[in-house]
Amino acid sequence: MSSLPANPRSSPVPQYPVAAPVDGHPPAPNLHQRRLRALASARSRRGEVDALIFSDPHDIHYLTGMRHGISWLVLLEGACFAVSRHMLVDEVRAAAIDCEILLASARSTDRPELEQFVIAEVTRRGLACAGIDPAKLTAQSYLQLTAHALAAGIALAAFPDCLASLRAVKDPTELALTRHCVGIAEQAFRDLLTPGAAALLGRSERDLSDELEARMWALGADRQGFPETGIIVASGPNSANPHHSPSPRRVMAGEALLFDWGAEFAGYRSDSTRTIFLGSVPEFARHAYPIVEQALLRSAAALRPGAAMGDIDRASRNTITAAGYPEFHYGVGHGVGLAIHEAPWLRAHSSDLCATDMLTTIEPGIYLPGIGGIRIENIYRVTGDGCECLGELPTALETMIIA
């Protein structure tokens, strides 16, 4: 076949019942206020700290809707304050977020340590203990924050992944944005393949990666979904490297051609993988591909509320090893949202349980060094009694052969 089937949904731009946008994309009414209240409630139940301090851009975006402009966010009892730099403070104030906005310096030429500024504000408000997530701080920020806290007599307590459980369960706005990203990414992939194998043969992996990214831009993506690492296009033996970076190698007929790509819109992302074949399927893939597809389907069948994440991983892993192939050296799935990799984590030894409206990838693979690799990846939403795939791209081997 020369192209994949058209997407019957075509993923129109989501519509939201709001009066004013935040950072260019409108959220649901009071969305971020609800998130702040939920986090405050969780903090008060633990009762260990007077404040929570955030500097991770994804956490700040989740709680305020702002992707830029806020350097630090501090959640207090019944209130919060955000710290912004001089050049961005007008943008933050215009967004009218439900936080007190503090300017870290009076002039753009002033460069005080933001960590010192944050601790000074915590001290000024008479607080004694603040929670931080050390894993989300740079070494420099952690050292500065702890030094200033020590000098001020403020105790810092480790609150690792304090937002992870909230971010792992998606609300309707997040689900709509992710579906939109999936729709953009899948349509761009179809459009790339529509001209057929002749239009792909002889082109470099980098060229195909660039075109796929450009097609997502043209369909309305803010950018491709993996800005930290880039789209993966891996041909021939390169497809045996799960995290290959596109190279000048030119695509040839009769070999595996693996695409791992996604779109970003309003800060949310998608993540898909397909392995296609131009003209004919190599011998190794005729046996390996159906095993990977079976592994994907078995893990998806195990995905439901209350299921242990380790069981979902092992459903894929055991399928592949039982067929005589080496196991893949990563967890079979991960959450997708504001970050391309976030909770939940589907790992072999995890006893964490799935919950309704979690989003997770499932991406089993077989990798044979020097020969090639096969990976298939979809995003799934955990439903009340199972799961649903957010995408429409087929997975069957015959649909992956491009004539």
Return the pLDDT at 13.
Answer: 43
Determine whether 241 is exposed, middle or buried from the number of CB atoms within 10 Å of its CB (0-12, 13-18, 19+).
middle
pLDDT average, residue stretch 343-371:
98
Question: pLDDT of 223-242, one tens digit each?
Answer: 999 999 999 999 999 999 99
Return the pLDDT at 103.
Answer: 81
In 3-state terms, the chain is what percent helix, strand and coil (to 5)? Answer: 35, 25, 40
Return the pLDDT at 88.
Answer: 64
The answer to which of 69-78, 180-189, 197-206, 215-224 has the lowest mean pLDDT is 69-78
**Structural domains of the chain sorted by starting position, each given as residue range(s) with its CATH number in brackets:** 31-163 (3.40.350.10), 171-402 (3.90.230.10)
pLDDT band at 105 (very low <50, low <70, confident <90, very high): low
pLDDT band at 171 (very low <50, low <70, confident <90, very high): very high
pLDDT winner (highest mean) among 40-44, 73-77, 94-98, 292-296: 292-296
Return the pLDDT at 66.
Answer: 84
- Angstrom distance (rounded) from CA 86 to CA 105: 6
pLDDT of 363 strictly over 60: yes
- Angstrom distance (rounded) from CA 210 to CA 218: 12
Question: pLDDT of 237-274, one tens digit each?
Answer: 999 999 999 999 999 999 999 999 999 999 999 999 99
- Angstrom distance (rounded) from CA 53 to CA 39: 12
Residue 359 and residue 340 in contact, taking contact as beta carbons nearer than 8 Å: no
Return the pLDDT at 314.
Answer: 98
CA-based nearest residue to 301, from 386, 359, 198: 386
Task: Kindly report the average pLDDT of the chain as a whole number.
Answer: 89
Return the pLDDT at 320.
Answer: 98
pLDDT of 178 strictly over 80: yes
- Angstrom distance (rounded) from CA 107 to CA 277: 58
